[in-house]
Amino acid sequence: MKINFKKVTMYLLSSLMLFTPLVAMGAKLGAMDTDFAANFSTVYTFVIGISTLIFVILFLVGGIMYLTAAGNDESTKKARSLIVDAVIGLIIVLIAWSAGSYIITQLVDSNSLVKDGAIQ
């Protein structure tokens, strides 16, 4: 079996780029306190960031596929479909981010009203 070093190098570099934010967030996740809203906000921000990264990468891959289609109708259709799907995904992530941010602010405001089990 012949090993393709270019592919292995690309897989390792892309894995490193994808998992570097995980390591950076690990320090923050490891220091989680007992506040539900803060924990939820941290996890939510991480998931939104990863989702955005995935859809941006899909958009770039679709653009590269479109540029390298060389007039082939089938390849062009696949590339356009990937670009449209990536844009729709980014719009969904944007809507989820705005809705989640609103919910998190409501959680933080409601937590500031309750201290030691008593409503202030």
What pLDDT does residue 41 have? 79
Q: Is residue 11 included in any domain, yes or no? A: no
Whether 22 is covered by a domain: the verdict is no
- Report if residue 72 sits inside a domain: yes
Domain residue limits at 86:
38-106
pLDDT score at 94: 92
Average pLDDT for runs of 10 along the chain of length 120: 65 63 56 63 85 90 90 91 92 91 77 51
Distance from C-alpha of 6 to C-alpha of 13, rounded to nearest angstrom:
11
Q: Is residue 102 part of a domain?
A: yes
Q: What is residue 105's predicted lDDT score, i.e. its pLDDT?
A: 81
Domain count, the chain: 1
Q: Is residue 27 part of a domain?
A: no
- Residue 87 domain-assigned? yes
